[in-house]
Chain A
Amino acid sequence: MKMQITENLDVDVDARVWSCHHCGAALGAAEANYKESCLVAARDPEEIWQPHVREEVTFSYHRDWCRIVEFYCPGCGWLIEVEVLPPGHPITHDIELDLDGLREPQKGAH
């Protein structure tokens, strides 16, 4: 049984795997961080926000302080998620589903 969990991610509750909502490419075990099965790029903020002056502040963010980490579907190149992190900071495991609970309809509803 496949469920859409975010705009870009499905989870197959029986096979317990993540997949891309747009092309179906497998994105690893559902217990793991789907980001580990994406292609990953850490981009300079100036690639996203145009700098207008070369001063202490530029209208963009500062590459010494942060990178824009992008996670792409390896199948279709869809931008699955974006994370803002200082250079070298651990990646966030943002969704860890109770997979057994997903198999039960509306557990806890009353």
Chain B
Amino acid sequence: MTANPLDLEEHLQVTPITISPSTMIEWTRPEPLSALARRCIESLQPGDYEIYDEKLRNFLEEAREVFVRSGVTGMLRAGDLIVAVYTANGDLANASAGTYLHCVTAMLPVKFVMSKYYGNPTVGVQDGDIFYANEARYGGIHNPDQMAFMPVFHGGELIAWVAALTHNPETGAIEPGGMPVTARSRHDEGMKLTPIKIGENFRIRDDMLDMMENFTSRAARMQAIDVRARITGCDRLRRRISELAADRGNDFVRGLLAKLIVEAEQATRRRISRWKDGVYRSTAFMDTIGPTSCLVRGSLAATKHGSDITFDFTGTSPENDGPYNCFPHITAAHAAVTMYAFQFHDLPVSNGALAPFTWIVPEGTVFNADPDAAISSSPMINSLTVSVVQQVFARMMFSSEDRPQVTGNICCQPCSPLVAGPNQHGVPVAELDNALLNTDGHGARQDRDGVDAYGFAYGHATRAPDTEDSELEQQFLRLYFRLRADSGGVGTFRGGTGTEAALVLWNVPFAAWAVYATSSYVPITLGVFGGYPAASAPGISVRNTDLSQKFRRGDADIPRDTIELATQRAIQGEYHFEHTNRPTRAGIEGDVIVATTGGGGGYGDPLARDPELVVQDIRDEAISEWTARTLHGVVYDPATLLVDHDATKAERAKARKERLSRGKPWAEFQAEWSTLRPAEHALTYFGSWPEGVANHPLERT
């Protein structure tokens, strides 16, 4: 049972690094395999790994279920979480994750504790300890994402770590909701806990809970309940691992966890080796930083050689004095979201899958900002990462047996309305509308359309919560919540459609609201191989409305979608049209907030789409007749929707001829193109044009 002390000491080592926000990424690679871990792997008997890998996954699923059922926030119920088990020195062995972001960002704080506090006489790591963290500078992602983690001891030996993490939509920042759009430095962002011990001997300390509730007093109830939920989920997993050690021994647990990492790395390398060597590049643009509409660029050059890939983000826009910044490990986490869900979807969810990757993230960019930068909207700026990573993998993987995993972009323009204030029961609530957030469109695939209202590109196993439940808890009703026509990127195969909703503040005299979103002026959800990007997201609201009277009268002209709302204007009130990303403002009962999620990117030339699929899209209200005619060149009888195939063939031949006459040879195109420049106000945070080099001082306070 008891390991040799020297072997154990080596086994618990974490690679020494300079601990800083820009270097935490070095801990994403697995630690060197210790002699003890190697012996433990070798001592596994045939069948052990296969049987107990499955048993471990059952433990994880059980702990996840306990976690979800113990908490209250919408993000937790939507599945925006991870429950994970780590080796004793903090490498991720396996996880049950609604979002794979935290395969990276829930792991690094564990390594930090092992590196800094294990053996530290003022902190130490003992059986029964409960640690907690929500600080990006120490490996987290942004401070709404809070994690509990606990060491697993058996027979006096530290054999593993476990963690449970979910998003808490209130942090005590300068705006409600945890992602303050107007934050200018870290000091505007509320509670940020470095990895700290909040409990001992399996008991939570009341003083720590009181501190957290005090920080998050806009919605202290949510904080108080979900801290306990994290720990409850965590502890269930801890107990199961400890029971496994009691049953099979500490070496067996060590061997099982280490083998998961080794197997994942080997399988990942085998897969990468199947793809063509080369350099694959992508560039994507966002159109907002905090409350300022402006161009921001994400650049990625992925060099694939053998079984290794280097991701180089050189060319990405300079950091800014808004909250749309992050640190390199956060960018790696957003790349990992795609990798764990697609390229390596069938492998253990361990950081063995990250071993083949090298990351180059230049300092001074939005992906490697100053430690004092505001980073609470780091998931928003990493829309760029989610977009470019999908693009380079599509090109890298096409010519291999992994082609079925190639898609146009899954929507990378998350849209999340936030409403805060007392709800209809008088209880303070600050919560995102997770129904919208989790109904983005999926990218079109090489042989079929993307899934409509598929989910969330940042959380592939999350889901929209029950609409009635959320209306009971939150301060609004939904006028409509439906699939949004023309939102999916057009192509031979169509990107899945996103959704749209009109929220009406209801049964409350007032509430604060905001919308976290992007892509009103520039698309970020890109198509691939001739497929078009997803549709624009308009920011629309109607204030001081007559909805109360309309509801009382039972008016039949309540709009059923956003185009009807904006063009017919049956609701009386002040209409506002603006960028979809909207900082916090006050609203009163009856105000309408329109929010739209994105569809997925299209795949292939739209003129090659089966005309019968095009008219089926019209029947399904997935596309408009304008799109069918203009982009697909389909001729049909509008009354019967029967396709005229001969006329369609002629129309498409004409459209291809028009392309040949519209398109210019490269030199002629460049002569004109190179004289153009975006609108000056779009370049506020871009840096020099077109290099993107920082050209003005930051104003952080």
> Which residue of B273, B531, B563 is within 8 Å of A108 (Cβ)?
B273
A98–B536 CB distance below 8 A: no
A6–B393 alpha-carbon span in the complex (Å): 12
Asked whether B194 is an interface residue with its Cβ less than 8 Å from the other chain, the reply is no
A87–B538 CB distance below 8 A: no
Known: A65-B678, A82-B527. A92 touches B282 (CB 8 A): yes
B666–A50 CB distance below 8 A: no
Known: A8-B605, A57-B520. A41 touches B676 (CB 8 A): no
Interfacial chain A residues near B690, Cβ < 8 Å:
86, 88-90
Shortest Cβ gap from A15 to chain B (Å): 17
Shortest Cβ gap from A89 to chain B (Å): 5
Asked whether B662 is an interface residue with its Cβ less than 8 Å from the other chain, the reply is yes
A109–B274 alpha-carbon span in the complex (Å): 7
> Which residue of B523, B530, B578 is within 8 Å of A7 (Cβ)?
B530
Asked whether A17 is an interface residue with its Cβ less than 8 Å from the other chain, the reply is no
Contact string against A for B residues 655-669, beta-carbon threshold 8 Å, 1 for contact and 0 otherwise: 111011011111001
Contact string against B for A residues 44-69, beta-carbon threshold 8 Å, 1 for contact and 0 otherwise: 01011110110111111110111010
A105–B676 alpha-carbon span in the complex (Å): 44
Asked whether B619 is an interface residue with its Cβ less than 8 Å from the other chain, the reply is no
> Which residue of A37, A55, A92 is within 8 Å of B283 (Cβ)?
A92
B523–A61 CB distance below 8 A: yes
Interfacial chain B residues near A82, Cβ < 8 Å:
526-527, 530-533
Asked whether B307 is an interface residue with its Cβ less than 8 Å from the other chain, the reply is yes
A16–B305 alpha-carbon span in the complex (Å): 19
Output the nearest chain B residue to A4 by Cβ-Cβ distance.
B399
A86–B273 CB distance below 8 A: no
B666–A52 CB distance below 8 A: no
A57–B529 CB distance below 8 A: no
B669–A40 CB distance below 8 A: yes
Number of interface residues of A (CB under 8 A): 65
Interfacial chain B residues near A80, Cβ < 8 Å:
529-530
> Which residue of A8, A40, A58, A108 is within 8 Å of B663 (Cβ)?
A40
B603–A7 CB distance below 8 A: yes
A93–B269 CB distance below 8 A: no
> Which residue of A68, A107, A109 is within 8 Å of B270 (Cβ)?
A109
A40–B671 alpha-carbon span in the complex (Å): 12
Shortest Cβ gap from B177 to chain A (Å): 22
Interfacial chain A residues near B597, Cβ < 8 Å:
none
> Which residue of A39, A56, A65 is within 8 Å of B679 (Cβ)?
A65
Shortest Cβ gap from B221 to chain A (Å): 36
Known: A55-B577, A74-B660, A107-B306. A3 touches B399 (CB 8 A): yes
Output the nearest chain B residue to A67 by Cβ-Cβ distance.
B676
Shortest Cβ gap from A24 to chain B (Å): 16
B281–A39 CB distance below 8 A: no
A78–B605 CB distance below 8 A: yes
Output the nearest chain A residue to B682 by Cβ-Cβ distance.
A65
> Which residue of A7, A50, A79 is within 8 Å of B446 (Cβ)?
A7
A39–B664 CB distance below 8 A: yes
Asked whether B202 is an interface residue with its Cβ less than 8 Å from the other chain, the reply is no
Asked whether B567 is an interface residue with its Cβ less than 8 Å from the other chain, the reply is yes
A38–B663 alpha-carbon span in the complex (Å): 8
Known: A53-B577, A65-B679. A36 touches B666 (CB 8 A): yes
Interfacial chain B residues near A64, Cβ < 8 Å:
678-679, 682
Interfacial chain B residues near A72, Cβ < 8 Å:
659-660, 663
Output the nearest chain B residue to A47 by Cβ-Cβ distance.
B630
> Which residue of A6, A88, A98, A101 is within 8 Å of B398 (Cβ)?
A6
Output the nearest chain A residue to B626 by Cβ-Cβ distance.
A50
Shortest Cβ gap from B205 to chain A (Å): 49
A14–B604 alpha-carbon span in the complex (Å): 27
Output the nearest chain B residue to A60 by Cβ-Cβ distance.
B536
Interfacial chain A residues near B674, Cβ < 8 Å:
88
Output the nearest chain A residue to B540 by Cβ-Cβ distance.
A57
Binding site secondary structure of chain A: loop
A39–B659 CB distance below 8 A: yes
Q: Which residues from 8 to 41 on chain B have a C-beta closer than 8 Å to any C-beta of chain A?
A: none
> Which residue of A47, A57, A86 is within 8 Å of B678 (Cβ)?
A86
Most buried by A among B287, B677, B678: B678
Q: Which residues from 622 to 667 on chain B have a C-beta closer than 8 Å to any C-beta of chain A?
A: 624, 626-627, 630-631, 655-657, 659-660, 662-666
A87–B676 CB distance below 8 A: yes
B277–A42 CB distance below 8 A: no
> Which residue of B276, B391, B659 is within 8 Å of A97 (Cβ)?
B276
Known: A6-B398, A39-B663, A81-B530. A94 touches B282 (CB 8 A): yes
> Which residue of B398, B522, B527 is within 8 Å of A66 (Cβ)?
B522
Interfacial chain B residues near A42, Cβ < 8 Å:
669, 673, 676
> Which residue of B278, B307, B682 is within 8 Å of A98 (Cβ)?
B278
A39–B280 alpha-carbon span in the complex (Å): 22
> Which residue of A45, A50, A78, A101 is within 8 Å of B624 (Cβ)?
A50
Interfacial chain A residues near B273, Cβ < 8 Å:
106-110
Interfacial chain A residues near B666, Cβ < 8 Å:
35-38, 40
Asked whether B284 is an interface residue with its Cβ less than 8 Å from the other chain, the reply is yes
Asked whether B549 is an interface residue with its Cβ less than 8 Å from the other chain, the reply is no
A76–B655 alpha-carbon span in the complex (Å): 11
Shortest Cβ gap from A51 to chain B (Å): 9
Interfacial chain B residues near A87, Cβ < 8 Å:
673, 676-678
Interfacial chain A residues near B531, Cβ < 8 Å:
82
B276–A52 CB distance below 8 A: no
Known: A7-B604, A50-B627, A98-B278. A110 touches B678 (CB 8 A): no
Shortest Cβ gap from B296 to chain A (Å): 11
Known: A6-B395, A96-B278. A66 touches B285 (CB 8 A): yes
Shortest Cβ gap from B668 to chain A (Å): 9
A-B contact pairs, 30 of them (CB 8 A): A5-B399, A7-B446, A7-B603, A8-B605, A35-B666, A41-B659, A41-B662, A42-B673, A49-B486, A56-B577, A57-B521, A65-B522, A66-B522, A66-B523, A68-B533, A74-B660, A74-B663, A76-B656, A77-B655, A77-B660, A87-B677, A88-B674, A88-B678, A95-B280, A95-B395, A96-B278, A98-B277, A98-B278, A101-B276, A110-B269
Binding site for B on A (CB under 8 A): 3-8, 35-42, 45, 47-50, 52-53, 55-62, 64-66, 68, 70-72, 74, 76-82, 84-90, 92-98, 101-102, 106-110
Binding site for A on B (CB under 8 A): 269-270, 273-274, 276-285, 287, 295, 305-307, 391, 395, 398-399, 446, 486, 490, 492, 520-523, 526-533, 535-536, 538-540, 563, 566-567, 577-580, 603-608, 624, 626-627, 630-631, 655-657, 659-660, 662-666, 669, 673-679, 682, 689-690
Q: A78-B530, A78-B608, A85-B285 are in contact. List 19 more A-B contacts (CB 8 A).
A: A6-B395, A45-B523, A50-B486, A50-B630, A55-B577, A57-B580, A59-B538, A59-B566, A64-B678, A65-B521, A65-B679, A68-B533, A72-B663, A77-B655, A82-B527, A94-B281, A95-B278, A95-B395, A110-B307
